[in-house]
Amino acid sequence: MSKVVERFLEYVKFDTKSDETSNTVPSTEKQKKLGLRLVEELQEIGLENVSMDDNGYVMGELPANCNDDIPTIGFIAHMDTAPDMSGENVNPQIVENYDGGDIILNKEKNIVLSPNDFPDLKDYIGKTLITTDGTTLLGADDKAGIAEIVTAVERIKSNPEIKHGKIMVGFTPDEEVGRGADHFDVEKFGADFAYTMDGGFIGELQFENFNAAGAKVTIKGRNVHPGSAKNKMVNSTFIANKFINELPEKDRPENTEGYEGFYHLISFNGSVEESTLTYIIREHDSKKYEEMMKFMKSLEEKYNAQYGEGTVKIEIKEQYKNMKEKIEPVMHIVDNAKKAMEEVGVEPKILPVRGGTDGARLSFMGLPTPNIFTGGHNFHGKYEYIPTHSMEKAVDVIVKIIDIYSQK
Ligand SMILES: [Zn+2]
């Protein structure tokens, strides 16, 4: 078994589920248990200034082994797993020489990982896959990323003939609850740029994500006894219904892909007296994104003109932004990641993230951070799996990026 796989199988045994309802940092104390283990491991490998701070952020440094003027490169992954599903007692199953057929995850509960549902499986015939036992998630998101980074720095450290600049590694808590960048000390980290190892299938490389906002629409009605309601009652749910249909049907998540943005109605709570609609707005293109927010906001005026001042109130809050504008000025970090993949025999697939990443937040905090594949599939659920080959390639990609930068 290769080192990266061995590490991965150890890390998934730590239950590190984060919790969005918690106000503590990290959101769950148990994430620090993995943190402590990683501190120990980085020290064993011989990294310097290894620490975990009170917030659960682990950092370590591999000093340069030559005097050339080489940028400091960071590699980042997150320790927590998604709150969507249990990460306790993860019991990984190893499927060797995969034959392209159904994989029975759990006989008792009849849980099957099938290429009929997940056609990507067909790409891995003959490879070794790691799956769940059907009762938990796997945690490849993002323990595969951690295992890949640790294994790569170990390889660099034990092969002194590979010349390199200063390398920083960082492991964060709470990415899955959107707080992974909140307490990341960019200054202490001290890298010129970084990569999150937090993508999906082999070859994935991402430096664009959504611009994102949340909107809360409150609609007031007027309730009176239905028997004497004529010309008096205003039912807010009917106004809400009309409002929903003002937003183009083609701009819904279920009708969009690639670079297309959307208005997504997350929830609708309504009674005669008051209705609230909760939306998220997502769009890659900054101009279109501004227009979408403006359009939604314009409905407030339109409805208030029709139904009376104060009937509709729309509050829009920006959540995160497309990192593209922070990456483009240092595009060599994407170009070299692409080159590194090609040099180790991985076909790069540059795709926009249809969501946000911690790298996006970090990019706006002064640390440009695109995202590289871990190799995993079907994150956040019981069908999560990862081919060992993809993890091994991710290690190669990290080592190659470091190598490319030391050759300049
Ligand atoms: Zn992740």
Q: What is the DSSP string of 25-39?
A: SSSSTTHHHHHHHHH
Q: Please state, in angstroms and rounded to a whole number, the distance separating the CA atoms of residues 20 and 57.
A: 18
For residue 8, how far is its CA from the centre of ligand 1 (angstroms)?
14
For residue 328, how far is its CA from the centre of ligand 1 (angstroms)?
23
Q: What kind and span of H or E run contains 302?
A: helix 286-307
Grouping H, G, I as helix, E, B as strand and the rest as coil, residue 50 is strand
Grouping H, G, I as helix, E, B as strand and the rest as coil, residue 214 is strand
First-residue to last-residue Cα distance in the chain:
35
CA-closest candidate to residue 382, choices 175, 113, 200: 113
What does the pLDDT read at residue 228? 96
Q: Please state, in angstroms and rounded to a whole number, the distance separating the CA atoms of residues 74 and 60.
A: 10
For residue 141, how far is its CA from the centre of ligand 1 (angstroms)?
5
Which residues make up the environment of ion ligand 1, defined by Cβ < 5 Å? Answer: 141-142, 198
Bridge pairing between strands 349-350 and 167-172: unpaired
CA 404 vs CA 2, 64, 73, 151, 166: distances in Å: 24, 14, 11, 18, 13
Burial category of 390 from C-beta neighbours within 10 Å (exposed 0-12, middle 13-18, buried 19 and up): buried
What does the pLDDT read at residue 408? 63
Query: Would you tell me the crossing angle of helices 388-406 and 3-11 to the nearest 10 degrees?
Result: 110
For residue 61, how far is its CA from the centre of ligand 1 (angstroms)?
22
Intervals of the chain under pLDDT 50: none
What does the pLDDT read at residue 15? 98
- b/e sequence 43-58, b meaning 16+ C-beta within 10 Å: eebebeebebeebbbb
Residue pair 393/346 in contact by the 8 Å Cβ criterion: yes
The catalytic residues are: 80, 175
- pTM of the entire structure? 0.90
CA-closest candidate to residue 363, choices 406, 331, 338: 331
For residue 224, how far is its CA from the centre of ligand 1 (angstroms)?
50
Q: Please state, in angstroms and rounded to a whole number, the distance separating the CA atoms of residues 88 and 82.
A: 12
Grouping H, G, I as helix, E, B as strand and the rest as coil, residue 75 is strand
Grouping H, G, I as helix, E, B as strand and the rest as coil, residue 56 is coil
Cis preceding-peptide flag for 142 (omega within 30 of 0): yes
Looking at residue 371, what DSSP letter applies?
Answer: E
Condensed to tens digits (0 to 9), the pLDDT of residues 163-182 reads 999 999 999 999 999 999 99
Q: Please state, in angstroms and rounded to a whole number, the distance separating the CA atoms of residues 101 and 126.
A: 11
For residue 42, how far is its CA from the centre of ligand 1 (angstroms)?
21
